[in-house]
Amino acid sequence: MPAIILVEPQLGENIGKVARAMLNCGLTDMRLVRPREPDWQTGKAVAAASGATEVLAAAREYPSTEAAVADLNQVYASTARPRDMIKPIATPRAAIADMAARIAAGDGCGVLFGRERSGLVNDDVALSDTVITVPLNPGFSSLNLAQAVMVIGYEWYLTTLEDGEAPASFLPTGATRPARKQELSNLFDHLERELDTCGFLRVVEKRPSMVRNLRTMLTRAQLTEQEVRTLHGIISCLVDRGGGRTPDR
Amino acid sequence: MPAIILVEPQLGENIGKVARAMLNCGLTDMRLVRPREPDWQTGKAVAAASGATEVLAAAREYPSTEAAVADLNQVYASTARPRDMIKPIATPRAAIADMAARIAAGDGCGVLFGRERSGLVNDDVALSDTVITVPLNPGFSSLNLAQAVMVIGYEWYLTTLEDGEAPASFLPTGATRPARKQELSNLFDHLERELDTCGFLRVVEKRPSMVRNLRTMLTRAQLTEQEVRTLHGIISCLVDRGGGRTPDR
């Protein structure tokens, strides 16, 4: 996993928030370069970590950015686009894809984050191989430190999931299961029979499109087997409340 | 753009942080359902918004979640996977893709976020069409409110960019330009000529691979035209320091 390296963080509270965001994303290698507050493993940092104390407990302190990145093969700087350096710039997604490939190959990677107010200094950016810039509202792009770590961590965590572990979208049905098409057809038949009986579908030329629209609507609902049974019950119940089937006219 | 709907937020400070994250991502439609602190348009919220006061100023307060979503066509609930409801679940990325398509078609969309500690209640989830669950460390998945908004907002902002506006990765070269291959070849020639002269490449059978490795290394550096000129200068300077060319032996 990538190391998260905070360069001269000013507030212990922010160190704690970063620890929480890191653990949310399965990251535990926190490195601090000259944190301003000496009590970052106790005090406000711990409260702000909301339980991510294992990250704080394992964090290490370094006297310089060079020392903090010494064992890494590839360093990324999270910062707005630098003006005076010719250095590759990547979105979080592209940078993380690159990072994941390097880490899979055994390389050590880390991401530098600067001070809360002023960000990274040029010398730190110069130490980095690639700049990561989060695409944001150009009129309001200053990102809170923990938020910046969150975006990078979120992209990282997505790459660690096995295929299918976080399906893009799915419908969990628990103990029941999606209805089979035969079950749906039976429901349609039941409903349409009753709608014929009560006269809802009495206009012959409109009947086909009305039936089609009802079936479309019920199909879109992705009904489960249990819900189909419930709907059968609802139809029967409504019919009974209406006094039973009307006799054939 | 999607509305960001905070249901019963407890702390004004968190409302402010959400406003900041929203504006970072170009979102300005904030809706609050029964915020606990009445002074959320002043006080701590404003300080925490770090300048995103336009979001706070335009935010609206509602007596119920139903009222807050009344004008919307599609509602998403940001929450852990609910146990007792059969409701589509999507990752932020999938949900935002769906949302962007709906918004492009003219539909109103909004995302519900629950209380800081306890999240959304079941009745609010039931009001929603889709649940958005951020894939996170299953051992530590409780996400800070503003962080949850940030992840959704970040995914949203990415969809608003024109193709090419946020290229995945690129090398900005400013006033100079990437070197042409002819310029690189000239540099290689210059370097290898000097390395031949000083004897660095004297082992005949190793020369081809040594030259190849040097060229590979320099090619990988993605040199600019200006850097190529600089390297010519460096080579010449090093040679001169060494007392000029050694005479042919």
Whether residue A25 and residue B137 make contact (CB cut-off 8 A), yes or no, is: yes
Is pLDDT of A244 > 80? no
Please report the pLDDT score of residue B247 as a whole number: 45
Angle between helices B181-198 and B207-220 (to 10 degrees): 140
pLDDT digits (tens, 9 = 90+) for A198-208: 888 889 998 88
Please report the pLDDT score of residue A126 as a whole number: 81
Please report the pLDDT score of residue A249 as a whole number: 40
Q: Is the pTM of this model over 0.90?
A: no
| C-beta neighbour count of A56 within 10 angstroms | 24
* Residue B9 and residue B116 in contact, taking contact as beta carbons nearer than 8 Å: yes
Q: How confident is the model at residue A78 (pLDDT cuts 50, 70, 90)?
A: very high
Please report the pLDDT score of residue A92 as a whole number: 93
Q: Is B50 on the interface with A (CB under 8 A)?
A: yes
Whether residue B147 and residue A21 make contact (CB cut-off 8 A), yes or no, is: yes
Please report the pLDDT score of residue B209 as a whole number: 84
Please report the pLDDT score of residue B83 as a whole number: 63
Angle between helices A145-160 and A12-24 (to 10 degrees): 20
Helix locations, chain B, DSSP H = 12-24, 43-49, 53-58, 65-69, 92-104, 122-126, 145-160, 181-198, 207-220, 225-241
Task: Tell me the mean pLDDT in the region A7-35.
Answer: 95
Is pLDDT of A61 > 50? yes
Helices (H) and strands (E) in chain B, counts: 10, 8
Is pLDDT of A145 > 90? yes
pLDDT digits (tens, 9 = 90+) for B99-111: 998 898 888 899 9
Q: How confident is the model at residue A217 (pLDDT cuts 50, 70, 90)?
A: confident
Q: How confident is the model at residue B244 (pLDDT cuts 50, 70, 90)?
A: very low
| A205-A209-A215-A219 Cα dihedral, nearest 10 degrees | 180
Please report the pLDDT score of residue A247 as a whole number: 45
Please report the pLDDT score of residue A156 as a whole number: 95
pLDDT digits (tens, 9 = 90+) for B169-210: 667 777 777 788 788 889 999 999 988 988 888 899 988 888
What residue ranges in B8-156 does DSSP mark as E strands? 30-33, 60-62, 74-78, 89-90, 109-113, 130-132
- Report which DSSP code applies to A53: H
Please report the pLDDT score of residue A165 as a whole number: 60
Is pLDDT of A60 > 60? yes
| Residue B234 in tokens | 């460096």
Whether residue A91 and residue B166 make contact (CB cut-off 8 A), yes or no, is: yes
Whether residue B17 and residue A176 make contact (CB cut-off 8 A), yes or no, is: no
Give which of B151, A18, A85 is closest to A7, Cα–Cα. A18
Please report the pLDDT score of residue A16 as a whole number: 95
pLDDT digits (tens, 9 = 90+) for B164-174: 566 666 677 77
Please report the pLDDT score of residue B163 as a whole number: 62
Q: How confident is the model at residue B116 (pLDDT cuts 50, 70, 90)?
A: confident
Which 3-state string (H, E, C) describes A73-141?
A: CEEEEECCCCCCCCCCEECHHHHHHHHHHHHHCCCCEEEEECECCCECCHHHHHHCCEEECCCCCCCCC
Chain A hits for B141, CB-CB cut-off 8 Å, are 24
Q: Work out the widest C-alpha separation in chain B, in whole angstroms.
A: 94
Q: Is A81 on the interface with B (CB under 8 A)?
A: yes
Please report the pLDDT score of residue B248 as a whole number: 44
Mean pLDDT of all residues in chain A? 86
pLDDT digits (tens, 9 = 90+) for B53-88: 999 999 999 999 989 999 888 889 998 766 677 778
Give which of A133, A136, A40, A122 is closest to A83, Cα–Cα. A122
Alpha-carbon distance of B168 to B177, in angstroms, equals 20
Query: What are the residues facing A33 on neighbouring strands?
Result: A7, A62
Q: Is A230 on the interface with B (CB under 8 A)?
A: no
Q: How confident is the model at residue B212 (pLDDT cuts 50, 70, 90)?
A: confident
Q: How confident is the model at residue A180 (pLDDT cuts 50, 70, 90)?
A: confident
pLDDT digits (tens, 9 = 90+) for B23-56: 999 999 999 999 998 888 888 889 899 889 999 9
Alpha-carbon distance of A12 to A30, in angstroms, equals 13
Is pLDDT of A88 > 90? no
The mean-pLDDT minimum among A206-220, B104-118, B149-163 falls in: A206-220
Q: Is A26 on the interface with B (CB under 8 A)?
A: yes
Please report the pLDDT score of residue A238 as a whole number: 79
Query: What are the residues facing B90 on neighbouring strands?
Result: A169, B132
Please report the pLDDT score of residue B87 as a whole number: 79
Of the residues B22, B27, B89, B137, the best mutation for testing chain A's interface (the one with the most A CB atoms within 10 Å of its CB) is B137
| Residue B121 in tokens | 């209640």
ipTM above 0.90, yes or no: no
Greater model confidence, A219 or A30 = A30
Chain A hits for B88, CB-CB cut-off 8 Å, are 169-171, 222
Phi-psi region of B43 (alpha: psi -120 to 50; beta: other; left: phi over 0): left
Alpha-carbon distance of B118 to A162, in angstroms, equals 29
CA of residue A40 relative to chain centroid, distance: 29
Amino acid in position A211: V
Please report the pLDDT score of residue A24 as a whole number: 94
Give which of A176, A155, A157 is closest to A165, Cα–Cα. A157
Q: How confident is the model at residue B141 (pLDDT cuts 50, 70, 90)?
A: confident
Chain B hits for A137, CB-CB cut-off 8 Å, are 23-26, 157
Q: Which residue of A has its CA nearest to B134?
A: A154
Please report the pLDDT score of residue B25 as a whole number: 94
- Grouping H, G, I as helix, E, B as strand and the rest as coil, residue B123 is helix
CA of residue A8 relative to chain centroid, distance: 29
Whether residue A94 and residue B157 make contact (CB cut-off 8 A), yes or no, is: no
Q: What's the gap in Å between the CA of B153 and the closest CA on chain A?
A: 9
The mean-pLDDT minimum among A230-244, B83-97, B142-156, B218-232 falls in: A230-244
